[in-house]
Amino acid sequence: MKFSTKVVHAGVKPCPVTGAIMTPIYQTSTYVQAAPGDHKGYEYARTQNPTRDALQDAIAALENGKYGLCFASGMAATDAVVKLLQPGDEVIATNDLYGGTYRIFTKVFAKYGIVFRFVDMGNIEDIKSAVTPATRMLWVETPTNPLMKIVDIEAVTTIGKENNLLTVVDNTFASPYLQNPLDMGASIVLHSLTKYMAGHSDVVMGALITNEETLNNDLKFIQNSCGGVPGPQDCFLVLRGIKTLHVRMRQHCENGAKIAAFLANHPKVDKVYYPGLSTHLNHEVAKKQMKDFGGMLSFTLKNDSIEAALKVLTGTHLFSLAESLGGVESLIGHPATMTHASIPKEERLKAGLADTLIRLSVGIEDADDLIADLSAAIG
């Protein structure tokens, strides 16, 4: 089944009672049993919910996976993955990653004896040299947040297999429309469904997808035991959003490419971080593993001052100054004080994240209007 058909039909079936084409919102906390243990597959809504089941089946299909699990947020999904580990285990993670991920690693799980090591995953040799007998997991973001670095998924998963490690790929920025890490050897794919998958800035949710039955069983146990599950209303919204993922992503990519080209040629712009540009350090890797280059990009100005950056950040009208990304509307953000504020400044600078970096989530509006908005703000 082609992707455009999957997004419309995967995981969903007409309601067997009424024939409703949309999956109903099963707003219930519990289910009646004919006798103790004699039920229709549903006992308690933390454990199972038909609306959530439909969404989990849909996201698994989109990632070419066998199993999908949904969580109350992307961070709840991250939390579940790290709970697979034991005190003393080590995780090697990319050094350019979402601030919330860095925070939960270093401020929550490090207290329990799990060691996190951050390396430039654009350099495969750095990953190999970081592996120790205690290493259990490789944590990948690609494209990275916010510098849009591209990590070679196949190369990293090869290291993982050679060393019997779990490879987790956060696929939020790309979405399954642009790349499918399980096909490249990943053990687990993670999504903040809040972003491109839902696509309308109206829900918070996370997901994990795998092809390995044992991994799924372990994660499902954590999902049920710890209870970080989404409600049926939110699951319904994501199911609805997924149906237009392919259409939205095509427009995000088209607009992202146009705006990246505009910025790359602007006399006041210094650097543009967008994997679709031929000048991007990892452009060839992006071409190899991605269908297109997405709608996320970052840039700095030649006037490398906070004042100049703030003028742009507060000077747009169509680009709204806000956290998050992946919605139909365009957003502008300042990673150093917003999405990545939880990372210490010295660590941000070491990874190449300047305090003057501006991040864009390019929406699906008319590209000419978006360019005019940026042009007026940059001056």
Which pTM value belongs to this model?
A: 0.96
Residues of the chain with CATH 3.40.640.10: 3-242
User: How much is the pLDDT for 291?
Assistant: 98
Catalytic option among 46, 258, 271, 311: 46
CA distance 336 to 344: 9
Catalytic option among 83, 149, 195, 248: 195
| Residue 97 contacts residue 74 (beta carbons within 8 Å) | no
- Catalytic residue status for 348: no
* Least confident range of 8-17, 149-158, 227-236, 344-353: 344-353
Does the pLDDT at position 350 exceed 90?
no
pLDDT tens digits, one per residue of 225-279: 999 999 999 999 999 999 999 999 999 999 999 999 999 999 999 999 999 999 9
CA-CA-CA-CA dihedral for 274, 352, 129, 216, to nearest 10: -60
**Per-residue pLDDT averaged across 340-361, rounded?**
89
- Catalytic residue status for 67: no
Detail the DSSP E strand segments found in the chain.
67-71, 90-94, 115-119, 135-141, 166-170, 188-192, 206-210, 269-273, 296-301, 320-321, 331-333, 358-361
**Per-residue pLDDT averaged across 151-163, rounded?**
98
- Between strands 358-361 and 90-94, the pairing is unpaired
Residues of the chain with CATH 3.90.1150.10: 245-378
Mean pLDDT, all residues of the chain: 96
CATH architecture of 3-242: 3-Layer(aba) Sandwich (3.40)
Catalytic option among 170, 234, 292, 373: 170
- Catalytic residue status for 218: no
Does the pLDDT at position 345 exceed 90?
no
CA distance 43 to 83: 25
Count CB-CB contacts under 10 A for residue 124: 15
347 or 251, which is more confident? 251
- Catalytic residue status for 311: no
CA distance 37 to 39: 6
Nearest to 249 by CA among 317, 185, 170, 195: 195
Does the pLDDT at position 13 exceed 90?
no
pLDDT tens digits, one per residue of 124-150: 999 999 999 999 999 999 999 999 999
| Residue 372 contacts residue 317 (beta carbons within 8 Å) | no
Residues present in the chain in total: 379
**Per-residue pLDDT averaged across 12-21, rounded?**
89
Catalytic option among 26, 67, 98, 274: 98
Which CATH number is 245-378 given? 3.90.1150.10
- Give CA 344 to chain center in angstroms: 22
User: How much is the pLDDT for 339?
Assistant: 83
CA distance 11 to 152: 30
CA distance 138 to 141: 10
Does the pLDDT at position 213 exceed 90?
yes
User: How much is the pLDDT for 341?
Assistant: 83
User: How much is the pLDDT for 17?
Assistant: 84
What sign does the dihedral 280-295-98-70 (CA atoms) show?
negative
Does the pLDDT at position 15 exceed 90?
no
**Per-residue pLDDT averaged across 6-13, rounded?**
92
Q: Name the residue with tokens 């080209």.
A: 261
Q: At what angle do helices 50-62 and 232-242 cross, to 10 degrees?
A: 30
**Per-residue pLDDT averaged across 14-38, rounded?**
91
- H-assigned helices in 179-231: 213-226
Q: Band the pLDDT of 292: cuts 50, 70, 90.
A: very high
Three-state DSSP class for residue 271 = strand
Please return the burial class of 77, using the count of CB atoms within 10 Å of its CB with bins 0-12, 13-18 and 19+: buried
User: How much is the pLDDT for 159?
Assistant: 98
